[in-house]
Homo-oligomer: A and B are copies of this chain.
């Protein structure tokens, strides 16, 4: 895409009321726009990153047998009364409103109850189990504080999956399979090394739930990790009993600040009993369903990556979720140089490589600054000076090394993974 045609603008300053590094960078680089604290619009560059994150998650959820659908935001009070979660004293993040036609209405902060309710139409026999469904859905939460940018929004995009299983074993198998699928997601996002499956409070149903926590100074959680043993424990269950059961001692653990980028939760049969979701087993006996829920904060992942993968000049996207792979820049008024850049642009596009071509009438300094701020993995400069050095100037965003590669070798260079041989 030509940058002159891209609907985006970089900015020198973020809004004065924006405290978080992730939103400051993403606003300045033109990925998002701030509506109010905790509420952001996705501009075209931001949409591209979010779509890439979604597609990775979609592939992994489909691979474990998930079916994609989408629930409404508007929710009825009835759906939440059986489990006693309509009450603002129990759930303190509800946005509620009143229907002109009469009655109260809620805006989805979670979908466990509506989905369990809907499943009554789909599950009646053991033959209907197991079933796994997921959605990418905009959640709304009436957070008292919203100072972490897109890491904790009042409106945010979440992938939530739900498993409905016939018994504990079937549930447990899928639960473990999903842990692996989640690990693949975080690896593919480029934050796998710093993301830990973390033992956390299991609530009323089980001893532990599992969170996926990524190390970042901007995180709101504190966990204890041991990298060698690949063990991580949330502060809330950090006690001698937990340590003993995991076979680890205090001195082996390091305390780190983290952000929760995913969580998985075992409801056992409790919620289905409360909501009366039963199936007839092989003997025709009504039996409650085992429910699990599995979340990934899609916009939060983008925020965590903006926090972790950035430097003083701007964002540094991993290739898997970068809005483009190559940022092609050209400098000066020389028509031949511009034509050469345009040819390379078309060659890259024809090779199926996503490229942003900075064709704007603007000085080299401003173009280089914008490229650093936007953070596309490969910066390629076509200029008179680069030509003197024998081709195209190539610099990876995450390195300070500059290479010169002849234009006809650029595509094979990229296809070989950016190694100049």
Known: A33-B121, A105-B95. A133 touches B39 (CB 8 A): no
Closest chain B residue to A142, Cβ basis: B100
Residue-wise interface mask of A (26-37) relative to B, using a CB-CB cutoff of 8 A (1 in contact, 0 not): 000000010111
Residues of B within 8 A of A40 (CB): 72
Q: Is the pair A44, B72 in contact by a Cβ cutoff of 8 Å?
A: no
Query: With A9-B121, A92-B100 known to touch, is A41 a contact of B72 (CB < 8 Å)?
Result: yes
Interface of chain A: mostly helix, strand, loop or mixed: mixed
In the complex, which residues of chain B have a beta carbon less than 8 angstroms from the beta carbon of A95? 97, 105, 107
Are B35 and A72 in contact, CB atoms less than 8 angstroms apart? yes
A122 interface hit (Cβ, 8 Å):
yes
A114 at the interface (CB under 8 A from B): yes
Contact assessment for B100 and A144 in the assembled complex, using a CB-CB cutoff below 8 Å: yes
Which of B6, B37, B70 is close to A101, meaning CB atoms less than 8 Å apart?
A: B37
Q: Are B36 and A76 in contact (CB under 8 A)?
A: yes
- A97→B97 contact, CB < 8 A: yes
Q: Which residues A109-154 have CB closer than 8 A to chain B?
A: 114, 118, 121-122, 131, 133, 138, 140, 142-146, 154
- Is the beta-carbon distance between B42 and A74 smaller than 8 angstroms? no
Give the contacting residue for A44; candidates B69, B114, B146, B155; CB below 8 A: B69
Q: Which residue of B lies closest to A41 (CB)?
A: B71
- For residue A73, CB closer than 8 A to chain B, the reply is yes
State A362–B155 Cα separation when bound (angstroms): 45
A188 is an interface residue with CB less than 8 A from chain B = no
**A101–B144 contact, CB under 8 A?**
yes
List the B residue with the shortest CB-CB distance to A45.
B69
Minimal Cβ-Cβ distance residue in B for A95: B97
The CA-CA distance from A71 to B67 in the complex, in Å, is 27
B74 touches A9 (CB 8 A): no
Q: Are B114 and A7 in contact (CB under 8 A)?
A: no
Asked whether, in the complex, the Cβ of B154 is within 8 Å of the Cβ of A74, the reply is: yes
Bound Cα distance A138, B138 (Å): 10
Report A231-283 residues with CB < 8 Å from chain B CB: none
Across the interface, which residues of B come within 8 angstroms of A43, CB to CB?
69
- List which A66-110 residues lie within 8 A (CB) of chain B: 67-76, 79, 92, 95-97, 99-101, 105, 107
Which one of B46, B69, B96, B155 lies within 8 Å of A74 (CB-CB)?
A: B155
Quick check: A145 and B7 within 8 Å, CB to CB?
no
Most chain B Cβ neighbours within 10 Å, of A9, A92, A146: A9
Residues of B contacting A69 with CB < 8 Å? 7, 41-44, 46-47
Known A-B contacts A41-B71, A97-B95; the reply to A76 vs B9 at CB < 8 A is no
The yes or no answer to A11 lying at the interface (CB within 8 A) is: yes
**Set of chain B residues within 8 Å of A142, measured between Cβ atoms:** 97, 99-100
Which residues of chain B come closer than 8 Å to A74, judged between CB atoms?
35-36, 39, 140, 154-155
**Whole-angstrom CA separation of A40 from B118 in the bound complex:** 11
Q: Is the CB of A100 within 8 A of B41?
A: no
Chain B residues whose C-beta falls within 8 Å of the C-beta of A11 in the assembled complex: 121
Q: Is the CB of A41 within 8 A of B118?
A: yes
Name A118's contact: one of B33, B72, B99, B144 (CB within 8 Å). B33
- Name 16 interchain pairs, CB-CB below 8 A, sorted by A: A7-B67, A11-B121, A33-B121, A36-B74, A37-B101, A39-B72, A47-B68, A47-B69, A73-B73, A73-B155, A74-B154, A74-B155, A92-B100, A100-B142, A101-B143, A107-B107
A interface list, Cβ under 8 A from B? 6-7, 9, 11, 33, 35-37, 39-44, 46-47, 67-76, 79, 92, 95-97, 99-101, 105, 107, 114, 118, 121-122, 131, 133, 138, 140, 142-146, 154-155
- What are the 3 closest A-B residue pairs judged by CB atoms, nearest first? A7-B67, A95-B97, A41-B71
